[in-house]
Amino acid sequence: MSSSHAHETGGETELASGNAGAPAAAESGRLLRPSKGQAPAKGQVSFDASAALLLRERARSWRERVPLVVDSELMFSVAGEDLQAVKALQHEVEAQRVAITRPLNEALRAVNALFRAPKQFLEEAEAMLKRAMLAYTAAERERLEAERSEAQQRQCEEQARLAGEQRELEATAREDEHAAQEAQARANDAARSGDLDMAAKERASAAEYSQRAASSWTKAQELVQQAEEGQVVTYAGALAATTRLEGISERTTYAAQVTDLRQLVCAVAAGQAPLECLQADEKFLGAQARALRRTGQLYPGVDVSAERSLAASRPATLLRAAQMTAFGGTLEGLPAQLTR
């Protein structure tokens, strides 16, 4: 008995030797058997490898055989018989392999079926929770965006109000400055004419207008500073972060979708998109080549090539296989013309 590990590959099970002495035993054809009372190790299965070892030796005889030189109808016929014998042995090897792997694959399918329902339930629960959490974060983003838009609208309105007040103050300041200049001019005229009382009165009026103008300019500058400070505070308050949990993070995945294939092809031809955007459909082109059944150009940039091969099937009776069996799976003792 030879112990082997069972590995899952693509939903099926393959066997890998679990005994360091197995390869040597296979080379010599000896059959490994566990010690009396020895049970397979955990994660291993036991199977009878005797048939597989015999098939291995028979297959090795074909690999190590000197290749035939097909130079006549007779040798072509001999090679055909050999090919059919090889195909028959391939089917026999595959049957032995399947006899060992079928129970393992059936057990694997049973285990997968056993856990399919809980896995599906948990996947559905996971998807449900993720949908709910993504819906909440999306609603939060919409809420924050709405708050930001409202804050921006209020800011624009406030900016417009402050700008209007600033213009009014600046206009008032310019009027007061003009009035102060006129009062100062009248004071100068009154002083030249000798009317000192009128000159003093006009100078006082000019000073008052100048003071009022300076006050208006100061208030206008304060409004400008207030508008700038209000803008910074408004945006800082609107851009808030969404709720975060430890071990859970939200990510955005971007995917491309072709909406107009002809337009994409034209873009590639014009150099506006890289050639990697397009991929030849080899399945479609292969079907076209098989339907055309000739070599040469299929389309611009697409050539058809032809490759010949042989197909061999298992005959009902195989003289060559019977001869090999009679000689113990080797070619010793066969006629010379059949072993060249």
169 band by pLDDT with thresholds 50, 70 and 90:
confident
328 within a domain of the structure (yes/no) = no
**Better-predicted residue by pLDDT, 169 or 6:** 169
Residues 159 and 213 in one domain: yes
34 within a domain of the structure (yes/no) = yes
335 within a domain of the structure (yes/no) = no
Res. 242: pLDDT tops 60: no
pLDDT by residue (tens digit) across 60-86?
A: 777 777 567 888 888 888 888 888 888
| For residues 76-97, average pLDDT | 86
296 within a domain of the structure (yes/no) = no
105 within a domain of the structure (yes/no) = yes
Residues 107 and 131 in one domain: no
Residues 79 and 143 in one domain: no
| For residues 119-144, average pLDDT | 92
| For residues 49-60, average pLDDT | 77
Count CB neighbours of 76 within 10 A.
11
Cα dihedral 209/211/215/221 (nearest 10)? 90
285 band by pLDDT with thresholds 50, 70 and 90:
very high
Residues 63 and 153 in one domain: no
Distance CA 83, CA 312 (A): 7
**In percent, how much of the chain has pLDDT > 70?**
73
Residue 243, sorted as left (phi over 0), alpha (psi -120 to 50) or beta, turns out to be: beta
Residues 94 and 49 in one domain: yes
Whole-structure pTM value: 0.51
Distance CA 231, CA 225 (A): 10
1 band by pLDDT with thresholds 50, 70 and 90:
very low
> Can you give the length of the chain in residues?
340
Domain that holds residue 134: 127-238
Cα dihedral 82/84/88/89 (nearest 10)? 20
Q: Whose structure tokens read 């018989």?
A: 81
State which of 218, 238, 258 marks the end of a domain.
238
Written as six digits, the tokens of 19 are 């005994």
Contact status, residue 220 vs residue 166, Cβ threshold 8 Å: yes
- The pLDDT score that the predictor gives to residue 40 is 54
Residues 43 and 74 in one domain: yes
- The pLDDT score that the predictor gives to residue 227 is 77
118 within a domain of the structure (yes/no) = no
- The pLDDT score that the predictor gives to residue 9 is 39
How many independent structural domains does the chain possess? 2
| For residues 118-123, average pLDDT | 96
- The pLDDT score that the predictor gives to residue 87 is 87
Half-sphere exposure of 219 (CA within 13 A, CB side): 18
- Average pLDDT of the chain to the nearest whole number: 76
Amino acid of residue 269: A
